[in-house]
Structure 1
Amino acid sequence: MVLLALTILSIIGVLVFLIKLGILAQHRVHIKRGQYSRDDWPSVTIVIPARNEEHNLKISLGSILEQDYPVDKLEVIVVDDFSEDQTRQVAQQMMSQSQFNAQCISGRPLPKGWIGKSNACMAGALQANGEYIFFIDADTQSDKKMLKSIIDFTLSKEIDLLSFNPRQLMLSASEKTLLPGLFLSIASFMKFHESNDPDKEEAIANGQAMLFKTSAYKAVEGHTVVASEISEDLAFAKAMKERKFNIFWAFADDLMSTRMYTSAAEIWHGFSKNMNRIVEVNNFASAITLLSKSFFIAWSTPLLLLLSWLSYNSEPTQIALFVVGINLLMQLILLITYGVLATQLFVPIIYAIFVPFGITLQGLLVINSYRLSKQKSISWKGRVVE
């Protein structure tokens, strides 16, 4: 009877998790490639903050300089944020061959209370002349039709801040093993539909790609409003929405891709800087609760399937067989869900069996992120950011 009770509890928890993911999937908005019919395009300034990005710039900046956009309407600014490699030289060499108005500027000294990335973005924004300012990370790669597609989407919906999720590239075994489950677990905390509803408090943005109407950006004093925020994207979305600007969150798998981290160590270090903020965990009790939840979702079903099978082998009753059957069914449902996830993320389906490890990782990352934030020892790209 104990195993039956635990099985029922596990089913309820897992089903709630799956239902939530199903609702999220229904509310995903995708920006499609090249669906526009306008001739008059607004001027746009693309700002790329870059600190020690000499290798990534060849791809990210290269794809921006190949955009299908009117030459007189696109300005590109790379902000060399005190790089210690050849970032500036690479940017300048590429820009010298561009048809667009493109320049590499020096980042400004870090003011007290500012985080490095926001400061670099602000430095670029101060030089921007476009009707729209588009901040993108240096580790992204864009389709040639990307800019026209998102500008058309933004104009059609009168959006003041458009942010979207690019396709996440996963090439190494570590990425394929850990990231699908981690992304799935993070998604379970997101409320896409509410973020796009002006009457709801939820506000989502992704710092990898944030397109602002310049007048709206200036109205909130630009990155000044998020100067001290590690998760400046989420803070920006919240600040814009609180001030009644129209924000919108979407997906753009066909338009942009990015490879965030290349190894397990990079994944751990990278997500540790802000995971507790992503899921809004502000105290140790909440962190422990989330860790327990992640372990429960990831491992309760396979563990109960094993225990119920052992129980049936020792005492083959009808109830014991029923419990085995229910746990087996739930495990199959989870494997199918994980398989669909792997397919959507362009990961070989065999990696579906590792999704529970990624779900577990999120709980561990929340604990570590919370610990680092309390110790004020979070660092990124050679800088202490808190």
Structure 2
Amino acid sequence: MKKRYWWRSWPRFLLWSHVIGVIGFYLVIWLRTAPKKEDRVRKLSLDEPATDTTSAKRPQVSIIVPARDEERNIRRCVQSLLEQDYDCYEVIVVDDGSTDGTGRILDELAASHPHGNRLWVLRLRDLPEGWAGKPHAIHSGTQEAQGEWLLFTDADTWHAPEALRSALTQALEERVDMFTMGSTQELPTFWDKVMMPIAFLGISMQYPPRLVNDPNSSVAVANGQYILIRREVYDTLGGYARPELRATLLDDRDLAYVVKENGFKLHFVDGRGLVHAHMYRGLGDIWRGWRKNAFLGSRGGLAFVLLQLFGLPMISIVPFLLPLLARLSRKGRGTGISATEANIATVLELTPLLLYHTWLNRQMNVPWYYAFPKYQNWQH
């Protein structure tokens, strides 16, 4: 009888342990990842002056855009940069050996845009030994830059007119050395809407902005789609010519780590609405991109990757299987768990899961019903 009691109690113990674990996980992850009001960039209206940027002290900014085979994106990106409402900047596009129409589009923009010599195009052909492509392209752009601040941004982004002025104003007000901000993600396809929020959940678990912005924490990361850094700081650290940065495949994260490790002030904020990006095209592209980022960018190495691989399904998929447990209980399959218990556990697990994913989808402008797998399939 005693042996039978323990045999029948173990399923109940596992069930309620899982319930507590799921509720605790989503509570902790929300507390770690929910942005505070001060973690957002304050958008400046066209008639609103920017602190320290309306007088003779207005700093020059050099915007550097590395581009390789970006004919689908480069025109929109460069045009948005040339339309910034801050008037003391230059745009340097580094054409890193493109074989498509990128070069032709850049020539058209340089020849026809009314901003005159604000746009410069630098063409690269050979990649020196020991360098990765993007760090070398950015470094080459910095060699031609004249600005007191450097802004690194990707060719698959586009920018609101007030983006640069708003970001620079906040960077100056907070006296930061490196200012980086998240972007609004363009998610046009079904798989974009389903996969990208999950991928960003993994990033936010490892690099919550509150720790990134804490000078007493070693956690550091940046969004390569928008990195604004003081030229003096960049040069002092050696920039991407620094040996450990030349060949990095995670140029944004590793630059942020070097900046913070050397005692400079790093600040990561929410820049949605100011910067927009379309990172991937199709499920295969998403998988290849995030597979690299998940492994190389993991602070916990292989152990953390495995934890995400097996742990996330346990908290994201198992709750949807609990109704099956209730069905088995009603049929008397000897689980040791009553149908009522299974139903209560289902509600307790699905409630925080769906609330969190609905909130996460809202942050990324994904329809709320994508938190529900059934509705994802209907929309598909």
User: Which TM-score tier does this pair reach, normalised by the shorter chain?
Assistant: 0.7 to 0.9
User: Secondary structure in 2 aligned to 1:54?
Assistant: coil
Quick check: which has more Rg, 1 or 2? 2
Q: What per-residue deviation string (whole Å, max 9, x for no partner) do you get for residues 86-121 of structure 1?
A: 212211211221415211011263222211101100
Per the alignment, residue 78 of structure 1 pairs with: 93
Distance 2:233 2:342 in 1: 57
1:277 maps to a residue whose letter is L
Deviates more, 1:215-224 or 1:345-354: 345-354
CA displacement at 1:26 relative to structure 2: 4.3
Tell me whether 1:32 sits opposite 2:42 in the alignment.
yes
The Cα of 1:336 is off from its aligned counterpart by 2.3
One-letter code aligned to 1:331: L
Aligned partner of 1:299 among 308, 311, 317: 317
Match of 2:16 among 8, 13, 32: 8
Contact 2:35 2:209 in 1 (8 A): no
Match of 2:184 among 154, 163, 167: 167
The residue aligned with 1:92 is 107
Determine helix, strand or coil for the equivalent of 1:253.
coil
Q: Give me the TM-score of the superposition, normalised by structure 1.
A: 0.86
Structure 1: give runs of 5+ residues left out of the alignment.
358-386
Partner residue of 1:382?
Answer: none
Distance 1:22 1:205 in 2: 20
Assess if the C-alpha contact under 8 Å between 2:152 and 2:228 holds in 1.
Answer: yes
What residue identity is the alignment partner of 1:295? P
Q: CA deviation at 1:147?
A: 0.5
Report the CA distance between 1:349 and its aligned residue: 2.0
Show the counterpart of 2:287: 268
Q: Which residue in 2 is equivalent to 1:63?
A: 80
1:157 equivalent in structure 2: 174
Contact 1:17 1:188 in 2 (8 A): no
Shift of 1:217: 0.5
1:134 aligns with one of 145, 151, 155? 151
Shift of 1:318: 8.3
Of the candidates 16, 28, 36, which is equivalent to residue 20 of structure 1? 28
Give CA-to-partner distance per residue, 1:133-183, whole Å, 9 cap, x none. Answer: 000000001000001000001000111111111011100111112212222
Percent identity of the aligned residues?
Answer: 29
Correspondences of 1:268-347 after superposition (within 5 Å): 268-283=287-302, 286-314=304-332, 319-347=338-366
Whole-Å separation in 2 of the counterparts to 1:310 and 1:88: 64
Distance across 1 between alignment mates of 2:278 and 2:271: 14
Q: Tell me the equivalent position of 1:209.
A: 226
Task: Find the residue that maps to 1:111 and give its secondary structure.
Answer: coil
Quickly say closer, same or farther: Cα 1:318–1:235, change in 2 above 3 A.
closer
**Which region of structure 1 is more displaced relative to structure 2, 332-341 or 153-162?**
332-341
1:183-222 matches, cutoff 5 A = 183-222=200-239
Instruction: Quote the Cα distance in structure 1 between the aligned partners of 2:72 and 2:305.
Output: 36
Contact 1:48 1:136 in 2 (8 A): yes
The 8 Å contact of residues 309 and 324 in structure 1, kept in 2 or not, is answered as no
**Cα distance in 2, alignment partners of residues 192 and 16 from structure 1:** 20
1:223 to 230, 234, 240: 240
For 2:171, what is the secondary structure of its paired residue? Answer: helix
Q: Helix, strand or coil for the counterpart of 1:261? A: coil
Alignment-derived partner of residue 381 in structure 1: none
Aligned twin of 1:235: 254
TM-score (norm 2): 0.87
Contact kept? 2:157, 2:276, Cα under 8 Å: yes
Q: Which amino acid aligns with 2:21?
A: G
The CA deviation at 1:301 is 1.4
For 1:314, the aligned partner's letter is: G
1:356-371 matched pairs, under 5 angstroms:
none
CA contact (8 A) 1:161 1:212 kept: yes
Structure 2 Cα separation of the partners of residues 105 and 267 of structure 1: 29
Q: Which residue number corresponds to residue 4 of structure 2?
A: none
Amino acid at match of 2:280: Y
The SS at the match of 1:129 is coil
261-270 vs 310-319, greater mean Cα deviation: 310-319
Worse-superposed segment, 309-318 or 35-44: 309-318
- Structure-2 separation of matches of 1:45 and 1:26: 29
**Amino acid of the structure 1 residue aligned with 2:354:** L
State the distance in 1 between where 2:70 and 2:351 align: 43
Contact 1:4-1:323 at 8 Å conserved across structures: no
Give 3-state SS (helix, strand or coil) of 1:198's partner. Answer: coil
Shift of 1:185: 3.0
Q: Write the distance in 2 (CA, Å) between the matches of 1:157 and 1:168.
A: 26
Q: Distance in 2 between matches of 1:217 and 1:98?
A: 31
RMSD: 2.1
**Distance in structure 1 (CA, Å) of the matches to 2:260 and 2:106:** 34
Q: Which amino acid aligns with 1:149?
A: S
Secondary structure of the structure 1 residue equivalent to 2:130: coil
- Give how far 1:350 is off: 2.2
Query: For 2:70, which of 53, 62, 73 is the aligned residue?
Result: 53
Counterpart amino acid of residue 252 in structure 2: D
Q: Match for 2:230: what amino acid?
A: K
State the number of aligned residues: 353
Q: Which residue of 2 aligns with 1:182?
A: 199
